[in-house]
Amino acid sequence: MTSNVPATYQEVFKTDRGVVYQCDVTNRLVLEFWDTHTQLSARDFAQFRRMVETIDVRQMALSTDAAYDVEILTPPRSERCYVLTLCEIIHLRELLNGAKLMLELNTMLRECGCSLSKY
Amino acid sequence: MKDLARLRTSIKESVELALNQQIQMEMISSSKYLAMAGWCDRNGLDYSAGFFYKQSEEERNHGMKIFHYLCDQGATAYSPEVPAVSQEFDSFRSVFEAALEQEIAVTDSINRIIGICRRESDFASEELMKWYVKEQMEEEYIARRCLDLFDQIPADQIYYLDQKVSSVTYDGNVFEA
């Protein structure tokens, strides 16, 4: 965890391009991507991940039309607007899917009566 | 670390996705039955038109049942996109053949969802889906019985055939006896 991150934030998943934290005080997931911080509820996080997952990256890669150069995404109940290139979408997917996997692991551990250590 | 998703709902994402797809399928079924009702109405088959109007309403209710379940459980239910459906049919018989095919597709989909529920140990959703299993037995029976009548009643007795196919019911569902 970097030093300027609030103490209540727990790192869920990290890549070279970003981090997903969980804050148990506010019950929010925090997406840090390209120097932006977006707080999302668990529901909105799942919805945003699906939005990113359903982008037709094949179309973006193959089309010469300028309209397919970037994808504009607004996370639910957020004032932020992401304008992402193909590479950025791939990086964001990696981050969100990694976070999803770790959150599922947390669920499995809790179902088994275990829990991830706080730090 | 808190399990935020579990605090929100007991329904896993894969089950939520499958149930939303089922809502869409039920709404598409409703739209198809409405098209069948319209075709029957246009061709003077009043009894069958009434039968399909009722079926259309029933399919919508099936979709809404899942929609309310998802909302009540804290999951997200999406109002589905319903694509254009075929409005024309080759014959009176082909309408019922299309109905049976649709019901078989719905049954297959329900069975697939039960498989997902079992994989995720989601017993509540599985219980809901069991209601649909019984319902599909009835729906498939009625569609098949209607097609049988097309073989049993001479084609020139179209008024009688229209009356008979619209009155087919299934009273012998072994799960509800």
- Give buried/exposed letters for A36-45 (b at 16+ CB in 10 A, else e): eebbbbbbbb
A23 touching B (Cβ < 8 Å): no
Handedness of CA B8, B10, B11, B12 (dihedral sign): positive
Predicted local distance difference test score (pLDDT) of residue B172: 76
Alpha-carbon distance A90 to nearest alpha carbon in chain B (angstroms): 21
**Residue A118: which pLDDT band, with cuts at 50, 70 and 90?**
low
Q: Say which amino acid occupies A4.
A: N
Note the pTM of the prediction, 2 decimals: 0.84
- Closest Cα to residue B171, out of B146, B148, B142, B147? B142
Specify the 3-state DSSP secondary structure of B82: coil
Pick B8's closest partner by Cβ from A22, A42, A116.
A42
pLDDT of A11-27, one tens digit each?
Answer: 999 999 999 999 999 99
Q: Report the distance separating Cα B136 and Cα B103, nearest Å.
A: 7
Residue at token pair 């037709």:
A56
**Residue A35: which pLDDT band, with cuts at 50, 70 and 90?**
confident
Report residues of chain B scoring pLDDT below 70: 177
A96 touching B (Cβ < 8 Å): no
Predicted local distance difference test score (pLDDT) of residue A1: 47
Locate the DSSP E strands across chain B: none
- Closest-approach residue (CA) in chain A for B5: A42
Q: Copy the structure tokens of residue A40.
A: 């999302």
- Closest-approach residue (CA) in chain A for B4: A42
Contacts 24+ apart (CB under 8 A), B67-73: B67/B23, B69/B19, B69/B125, B69/B128, B70/B11, B70/B16, B70/B19, B70/B20, B70/B23, B73/B9, B73/B10, B73/B11, B73/B124
pLDDT of A56-107, one tens digit each?
Answer: 999 999 988 888 899 999 999 888 899 999 999 999 999 999 999 999 999 8
